[in-house]
Amino acid sequence: MAGYSVLFETSLETEGELRIGPVSLSTAEMFGADLRRVLMTQVPGSAVSAIRIEGAGHEFALVDGVVEDVAAIVENLKKVRLRLSGAAPTLVTISVAGPATVTSGDLAAGSKVQVANPSQLIATIGKGGQLDMVVEVSAGSGYESVQADGRPGWVEIDRTFSPVRSVRMKVTEEEEGIFLSLTVFTDGAVRPADATTQAATALAAREVESNEVIRGLCQAVAAAADRPAPADEVSAALSSDGEALAPATPRVREFGSASALPMPNLTEFPVSSYQALLQPGLAPLEREPRGFGKTAA
């Protein structure tokens, strides 16, 4: 497979599009499905994994002077998008007296913990209230559910580490051939280009001995995502041999919607089969059962 180009375009901080082609239909479908699966499940990220609140020993407790109960605080913390430097869990201490509003920006801890959405509400403290809380931030990938045997005094939280929110895959047929497009949406904690590079690298490591074509595509994708182009530029396009290549102006149509291959009439097949099943030329008692398996006596 030679002569294909790989382009990664970024239009927003949380959205990027990978475009590969021309390739064979089987390669587009196989590689697109594999890379999409890795993007959704194996790109590492960070999340709040547990909290400890002074005066609250379980998830359904109330905190004096705080509007939200512990369960509501947990749900708010699940919406925080974090970026943790290093693999070891980090503890962030929050001690706020009311009246005040605690947001996710209060979780920022220098270079160790960075917050992508600092305005996310965590808790509202009334006059005379006090919130003393320790938040544990952990790194991982995919999803982890709460363990039954939690630590005493801590409220464990289900963790969705993946910074990739969704990946939209599309295979199209153009005049130049078959093209694969993957649109990557992240939560802002990781750039779409970085997530794509990590996913392509992980997929290439898995395909070291199994599929040379997929491994080569992964290397080209990682190289293109390392230097993403704005949506109105084509500087990140790479050919299969690594040289710069501006992609052709797309003239996209959905694959199969305007195919020159004859398409079967799917509406006639069930009707003819049903008529044959009725056996109209025979009396009811002479008809043989069809379409059902018979068991030996």
Tens of pLDDT, residue by residue over 46-66, are 999 999 999 887 888 888 899
Kindly calculate the radius of gyration of the chain based on its CA atoms and give it in whole angstroms: 27
The pLDDT value given to residue 12: 82
CB 115 within 8 A of CB 62: no
Give the pLDDT mean for 257-272: 38
pLDDT for 1-34, tens place per residue? 556 788 888 878 889 999 998 888 988 998 999 9
Q: Which of 158, 236, 153 is nearest to 193 (CA)?
A: 236
The pLDDT value given to residue 233: 43
Q: Which domains, from first to last, does the chain contain?
A: 5-43+163-254 (3.30.1360.10), 45-160 (2.170.120.12)
Give the pLDDT mean for 266-270: 40
What is the distance between the alpha carbons of residues 247 and 17, in angstroms, rounded to a whole number?
14
Give the global pTM.
0.70
Encoded tokens for 269: 């097949």
Could you identify the residue written with the tokens 């040289």? Answer: 243
- Above 70 in pLDDT, residue 194? yes
Q: Which of 134, 141, 46 is nearest to 84 (CA)?
A: 46
pLDDT for 88-112, tens place per residue? 889 999 999 989 999 998 887 677 8
What is the distance between the alpha carbons of residues 79 and 276, in angstroms, rounded to a whole number?
58
The pLDDT value given to residue 176: 86
Please tell me which residue, 20 or 233, carries the higher pLDDT value.
Answer: 20
Encoded tokens for 80: 């925080």
Give the pLDDT mean for 105-121: 85
Helices (H) and strands (E) in the chain, counts: 5, 17
Q: Helix, strand or coil for residue 8?
A: strand
Burial class (CB in 10 A: 0-12, 13-18, 19+), 228: buried
Tell me the H-state helices in the chain.
Answer: 25-41, 70-78, 192-206, 212-226, 268-278
Please tell me which residue, 258 or 20, carries the higher pLDDT value.
Answer: 20
